[in-house]
Amino acid sequence: MSNKYDVVVIGAGPAGYVAAIRCAQLGLKTACVDKWLNENNKPSLGGTCLNVGCIPSKVLLESSELFELASNGIAEHGVEIKNAKLNLSAMMQRKQKVVSELTQGISGLFKSNGVTAYEGHGRLQAKNNIEVTGHDGKAQTLEAAHVILASGSRPMEIPSAPLDGEFIVDSSAALSFESVPERLGIIGGGVIGLELGSVWRRLGAEVILLEAQDEFLTMADSQIAKEGLKLFTKQGLDIRLGARVVACEVKKGKVEIEYQQKDETCHEKVDKLIVAVGRCPNTDELVSPDAELILDEWGVVHVDEHCCTSLPNVYAIGDIVRGPMLAHKGSEEGIMVAERIAEHHAEVNYDLIPSVIYTSPEIAWTGKTEQALKTEGIEYKTGMFPFAASGRARALGDTSGMVKVLADAKTDRVLGVHMIGPHCSELVAQAVIAMEFGASSEDLAVTMFAHPTLSEAVHEAALDVSNSAIHIARKRK
């Protein structure tokens, strides 16, 4: 087998494997190097997302929500379930089954598209050579006309809460608890902390989230974040803002936490502590010094708007470059780079990256927040519609939340759409599509939506921009 390729991709997460497949589809001889080993010490494609991130967390979110519904919320539908029992082992087995099916599916996609997979650690050297060190320690060199770096990210660690793998764990280990902790602490009240907190609260844990920032979900629209804080607190999540953890110690099978809040020293004791304070790029051993690739002080690879690095014909995508660490963002970057290597035109619209928090209710948004518009001095109009006025939401028995549309006051072009409520992870795509084509709120307002659907909330929120919503009271002028 020749070790010369048109493209070599390092990393087989959502950015890397998508890039490799698209390169191969475009007729480029492509190889993909990946070092991931699963819990059985076997190679497993898909990176963090499929193995210990997006996919297993969503499996547990779905399963835990069904358990909570069976235990507490289904009687109002006329369905009586007595003594619903949790089988955590079976739940974890189902999670792993889904993960295995999807990771094996990527192997099948590589074969059907002609991507050559290499198992081991890939490292960029000078002149676009890739050193691949297999799991057996043997090394070989691949030559590439083009290189795509997509090595992903890992959970960030903090000195005040050193991981021990048993009592103090990262977000990956938190997906595989063998039993439900009676009291669970989580450092970080962002996306990962909220999702993990939701899973284990539904399964019976008392959950305490310690968030260092004074405000909740600062990356989301402030009105949506405020609604989320109210609803999550009502569910039983103990969210403590402005709580900066300064020390943690394991004593007699418990984690003792010391944190500062409002100039006071506070203490808490939990059975397990999850550190969910963000992620950092996997670039420590990605590049040899003689390659002279430019990275910043955080290990992020410097790239331009087309993901070109400081080295000719070397690209970087996904979690190791600027922007949010989101699987779909990395995938789109992978496709863009593949297209550009094949000398096709391609762009990524970084202004319209959808964000989703898969709690219940779900939170999703795209475009600018209201606070960003105020900061930038952009005049805007607002339309809102509550799910409480949605017939489909009432049929579901899930009426919390709202949809909010922000439009330019002069041109009426939609600038941002923000929502909290049922199935918002699916609804936000309508906003992304509309905004990608430069839609106005009037465009959405005159579009016909099926009835009864949750998507009608997007329609009514767009109507409300001009005070024309049908199913809520008119605004006072």
For the chain, 477 residues long, the average pLDDT of each consecutive 10-residue run is 90 98 98 96 96 97 97 89 95 98 97 98 96 96 98 97 97 97 98 98 98 97 98 98 98 97 96 98 95 94 98 98 97 98 97 98 98 98 98 96 98 98 98 98 98 98 97 79
Q: Where in the chain is the domain with CATH 3.30.390.30?
A: 352-464
Measured CA to CA, the distance from residue 114 to residue 30 in angstroms comes to 8
Residue 11, helix vs strand vs coil: coil
User: pTM, whole model, 2 decimals?
Assistant: 0.96
Q: Where in the chain is the domain with CATH 3.50.50.60?
A: 4-155+280-348, 168-277
In three state form, how does the secondary structure of 222-284 look?
HHHHHHHHHHHHHHCCEEEECEEEEEEEEECCEEEEEEEECCEEEEEEECEEEECCCEEECCC
Is 345 an active-site residue? no
The topology under which CATH files domain 168-277 is FAD/NAD(P)-binding domain (3.50.50)
Q: Which of 77, 135, 306, 451 is catalytic?
A: 451
The topology under which CATH files domain 4-155+280-348 is FAD/NAD(P)-binding domain (3.50.50)
pLDDT at residue 476, as a whole number: 64
Helix (H) or strand (E) holding 20: helix 14-25
pLDDT at residue 474, as a whole number: 81
- DSSP bridge pairs for 155: 279
Measured CA to CA, the distance from residue 386 to residue 402 in angstroms comes to 4
H helix and E strand count, the chain? 12, 22
CATH class label, 352-464: alpha beta
